[in-house]
Amino acid sequence: MDKTEFKRCFSRRLAEKFAMEVSDASPNELYQTLGSLMTSTYSQNWQQTWKDYREAGQKQAYYFSIEFLPGKMLKSNLLNMGWLEMVSEGLTELGISLDDLAEVEPDMALGNGGLGRLASCFMDSIASTGLPGNGNGIRYEYGLFKQRFVDNYQVELPDEWLQKGNLWEVRKESKAVDVRIGGDVYLSEDGFGNLTPNYQGGMLLRAVPYDTGMVGYQNDIVNTMRLWSVEISPEEEDRYRSIGDRRAVEDLTSVLYPDDSSEAGRKLRLSQEYFFVSAGVQSILRYYKQLNKPMDEINQYIAIHINDTHPAMCVAEFMRLLIDQEKMGWERAWNLTQEVMSYTNHTIMAEALEKWSIDMMKSVCPRIYQIIEEIDRRFVEEMTGVHDFDLIQRTRVIQCGQVHMAHLAIIGSHSTNGVAKLHSDLLKSVVLHDFYLLYPARFNNKTNGIAMRRWTQLANPALSNVLDDTIGDSWRKNPSDLRLLLNFEEDDQVLEALADAKWENKKRLATYIEDHCGIKVNSNAIFDVQIKRLHAYKRQLLNLLHIIKLYLDLKENPDLPIEPRVFIFGAKAAPSYHYAKSIIKVINETASLINQDDSINNKLKVVFLANYNVSLAERIIPAADVSEQISLASKEASGTSNMKLMLNGAVTIATLDGANVEIRDAVGDDNIAIFGLTESEVYQYYENRSYSSTDIFKNDAVVYKVVKTLVDGTIPNIISEGQEIFDSLIKYNDEFFVLRDFGDYCLAQESINQAYQDKRRWRQISLRNIANAGRFSSDKTVQRYADDIWQIEPAFAHEDDRGVTQHDTYLF
Ligand code: 26V
């Protein structure tokens, strides 16, 4: 399609859909029109992609994730369709701004943070590298809550993202399946020695899929993200007459659990997990059966990925279907299950490793519990005599009345991976060490990555243009070509062009900050950014204490030679995570104090942008000078904002945690500010129990002065929150070693301050960060999953006809 044709089609579609002309239409009507033109265009490729996979007998991967966080899809689909420029120009000629239309789309925020965003980067990359892979998850009616600040406190509002409809999804009624939740089950013998489950009571729910096309980057591939929604099945209508009963069903896919601080006893959450697992696995099996291949060979055609423990019941559900429905023997079914399944661990925090009580599991999915019991029984039987008793007890799936989901995922799959080198090593040596002893060959690393296209081409057109002019545009398809930029590190013109692009982005963010927070910031100041969920281990508190130190220093000496800085935060706290919400309050109050204090000559500003989400990330990241990656070493599995910020030329200040280690290796020590305890030093402290935060508090005058401000009235309106945080540091011995790392962090911050003063040097460091970011492309990450774990190949890799019959409709 060319521009002229696009304009004609667009106007015609607007007339068909809304019976109006461009000049009468609202941004939403124009957005709906453009979207419908796009979906009707790529749906041909969508159908063709499926036909091609099927006809080539292609093995497909299914990424099971309880969260997906795609953000807005308009521009990324336009980019991937190869339409972005054409549509942008065409609309301008019609008097419409594409950016205004893009604003209308609500963020699709069906995730909390890194885990969900990674899943969406993977979806983009899987399609863009032409790999046959699909997503499977939940279509929550309400996404992650919207955050507002009232009196500097976080307040949560519901995210009604579906209010105006979702034009990217297609409801596939014909592909619905039934999922049984609750009730009882007993086994009977069928006369041939086979045990058959008989179900009594419970709810038979209808799972209806909503499919969204995952458009590959200019390659005509469109994969599927399938999200399940609950409905009352027509046969059961009579049972759910009252509003209360209907509500109980609808609640199942109503809200995304925002609470990653503790997963204590939430029956609804367990039901959500079983619901999307069962629906997804059933639909995969139905598809496979329509291929007319022997069930024995399913491992050659299907790979199922368990993204964190939430979908770990895939193991038992797959077994259930093979045994109960396909009448397969246990051993055969078990071997196939292990070959089909693979699992990624995303956190070492013990609280986050899911465990469910036996009682709850029996009440939500009794047959699944029976199967897990048998998996556990056989595991113990198989290991007894081979491994020592204690090791077996520690690795069992069922222990002390609880079902350990990570154990189920590891035992029931052929691959367990971490998400950065350090994290994968820690899994082997500490967190999952017992399993590493049992199954060393299953453990591997797959360092996370990011969808480069979204985080440069879409989020940062200014930088993208400079790159095109400097190194050509091959980096758009091959991010490793960003390395070509290293040839220009002494080229002042290029350094200046990069700095100009950064400045343009900072101006844009400054305008946003003024519009949304009423704070005027200086675009020549250092924009220092920490954007991620609010968690004690991520140590936003460390950042805050350093800000307080700078403020006190400036109060003492207003002429202190520091580069003006704007500290920018973006973070949501889980609604039940009291401590995290207190940190938000204290940051906000400190911000109010500092921003209104004229005596510090605007050298310091603190901005906490409300409602951090993917779209806001796209605004902040291109404007960042400094990237704060300051988690306590060993705690952040990987991090991915670190990669996005680096790619956009921010200089990282970091502990040696997660993927920061690999970023350091990529850019070299001179182009990153590393500080703080190492992971092994942290573990030594644990071993020796020798950490005392009070010692530091008493002996380090700077720490004393800064920490005191939490409780001495320096910062207004934080009587209880300040005390709570003070106590966490002093009374409860500072779980995340904030005070231990404080001094070193301040030195690293001072080195940033120095480096920024030498403009040329700073620009060179920034250039080297951009140039070395290519290795973190999620295109590469998913290729490694495809090669090492899923054993899938790009579409059209087989040219021979493998004898699969051709169908007209697609089957999955
Ligand atoms: C973390 C925590 C920490 C405190 C206690 C409770 C709790 C519960 C859940 C989580 C994190 C959940 C999983 C997650 O989002 N992990 C993130 O995954 C990203 C993608 O692999 C990775 O980059 C982040 O480092 C990791 O935190």
Residue 795 belongs to a domain with what CATH number? 3.40.50.2000
Range(s) of the domain holding residue 351: 57-71+107-448+789-809
Neighbours of 476 (CB within 10 A): 18
Quick check: is 231 in a domain?
Answer: yes
* Per-residue pLDDT band at 601 (split at 50, 70, 90): confident
Bridge partners of residue 231, in order along the sequence = 206
CB within 8 Å of 439: residues ≥ 6 apart: 410, 416
Nearest Cα residue to atom 23 of ligand 1:
639
Contact by Cβ (8 Å): 245, 193: no
Ligand 1 proximity of 450 Cβ (cutoff 6 Å): no
Q: For position 796, what pLDDT does the model report?
A: 61
Residue 774 has pLDDT above 70, yes or no: yes
Quick check: is 6 in a domain?
Answer: no
Bridge partners of residue 374, in order along the sequence = none
Q: For position 248, what pLDDT does the model report?
A: 82
Quick check: is 480 in a domain?
Answer: yes
Q: Give the separation between CA 570 and CA 589, rounded to whole angstroms.
A: 15
Quick check: is 84 in a domain?
Answer: no
| Catalytic-residue membership of 538 | yes
Residue 230 has pLDDT above 50, yes or no: yes
Q: Give the separation between CA 209 and CA 391, rounded to whole angstroms.
A: 42
Alpha helices in 74-189 (DSSP H): 74-81, 84-93, 98-104, 114-128
Axis-axis angle for helices 74-81, 84-93 (nearest 10) = 110
CA–centroid distance, 115 to ligand 1, in Å, is 7
pLDDT (mean) for 309-316:
98
Its pTM surpasses 0.85 = yes
344 and 404 fall within a common domain: yes
| Catalytic-residue membership of 532 | yes
529 and 433 fall within a common domain: no
Q: Give the separation between CA 505 and CA 648, rounded to whole angstroms.
A: 10
Q: Give the separation between CA 489 and CA 770, rounded to whole angstroms.
A: 11
Q: Which atom of ligand 1 is closest in space to residue 352's alpha carbon?
A: 8
| Catalytic-residue membership of 603 | no
Classify residue 391 as exposed, middle or buried by CB count within 10 Å of its CB (0-12, 13-18, 19+): middle
585 and 616 fall within a common domain: yes
Q: Give the separation between CA 337 and CA 334, rounded to whole angstroms.
A: 5
Classify residue 431 as exposed, middle or buried by CB count within 10 Å of its CB (0-12, 13-18, 19+): buried
212, 640, 652, 655: which one is catalytic?
A: 640
Q: For position 797, what pLDDT does the model report?
A: 43
Q: Which of 66, 69, 260 to mutate to test the pocket of ligand 1 (most atoms within 8 A of CB)?
A: 260
Quick check: is 79 in a domain?
Answer: no
DSSP letter string, 741-800: HHHHHHHHHHHHHHHHHSHHHHHHHHHHHHHTGGGGBHHHHHHHIIIIII----TT---S
Quick check: is 504 in a domain?
Answer: yes
Nearest to 610 by CA among 155, 196, 293, 186: 155
* Per-residue pLDDT band at 237 (split at 50, 70, 90): confident
719 and 800 fall within a common domain: no
* Per-residue pLDDT band at 391 (split at 50, 70, 90): very high
Ligand 1 proximity of 346 Cβ (cutoff 6 Å): yes
pLDDT in tens, 629-644: 999 999 999 999 999 9
CA–centroid distance, 347 to ligand 1, in Å, is 5
Alpha helices in 536-659 (DSSP H): 540-556, 578-595, 614-620, 641-647
pLDDT (mean) for 111-139:
98
CA–centroid distance, 635 to ligand 1, in Å, is 9
| Catalytic-residue membership of 3 | no
Quick check: is 51 in a domain?
Answer: no
59, 362, 423, 533: which one is catalytic?
A: 533
Residue 654 has pLDDT above 50, yes or no: yes
802 and 722 fall within a common domain: no
150 and 223 fall within a common domain: yes
204 and 65 fall within a common domain: yes
Ligand 1 proximity of 66 Cβ (cutoff 6 Å): no
Ligand 1 proximity of 636 Cβ (cutoff 6 Å): yes
**What token pair was written down for 526?**
């250092």
| Catalytic-residue membership of 644 | yes
Ligand 1 proximity of 448 Cβ (cutoff 6 Å): yes
Quick check: is 16 in a domain?
Answer: no
Q: Give the separation between CA 697 and CA 408, rounded to whole angstroms.
A: 44
Classify residue 165 as exposed, middle or buried by CB count within 10 Å of its CB (0-12, 13-18, 19+): exposed
190 and 279 fall within a common domain: yes
Residue 321 has pLDDT above 80, yes or no: yes
Burial letters 264-301, b for 16+ CB under 10 A, else e: eeeeebbbbbbbbbbbbbbbbbebbeebeeebeebbeb
Q: For position 264, what pLDDT does the model report?
A: 57
Q: Give the separation between CA 696 and CA 488, rounded to whole angstroms.
A: 46
CA–centroid distance, 533 to ligand 1, in Å, is 9
Q: Give the separation between CA 761 and CA 767, rounded to whole angstroms.
A: 10
* Count of structural domains, the chain: 2
Q: Give the separation between CA 707 and CA 724, rounded to whole angstroms.
A: 12
629 and 516 fall within a common domain: yes
Ligand 1 proximity of 449 Cβ (cutoff 6 Å): no
* Per-residue pLDDT band at 192 (split at 50, 70, 90): confident
Q: Give the separation between CA 147 and CA 534, rounded to whole angstroms.
A: 12
Ligand 1 proximity of 308 Cβ (cutoff 6 Å): yes
CB within 8 Å of 307: residues ≥ 6 apart: 63, 64, 65, 66, 115, 119, 344, 346
> Across the chain, how many H-helices and E-strands are there?
31, 25
Q: Which of 66, 115, 531 to mutate to test the pocket of ligand 1 (most atoms within 8 A of CB)?
A: 115
535 and 661 fall within a common domain: yes
439 and 497 fall within a common domain: no
394 and 535 fall within a common domain: no
E-state strands within 639-713? 651-654, 673-674
Contact by Cβ (8 Å): 181, 269: no
Q: For position 16, what pLDDT does the model report?
A: 96
CB within 8 Å of 24: residues ≥ 6 apart: none
538, 539, 549, 740: which one is catalytic?
A: 538
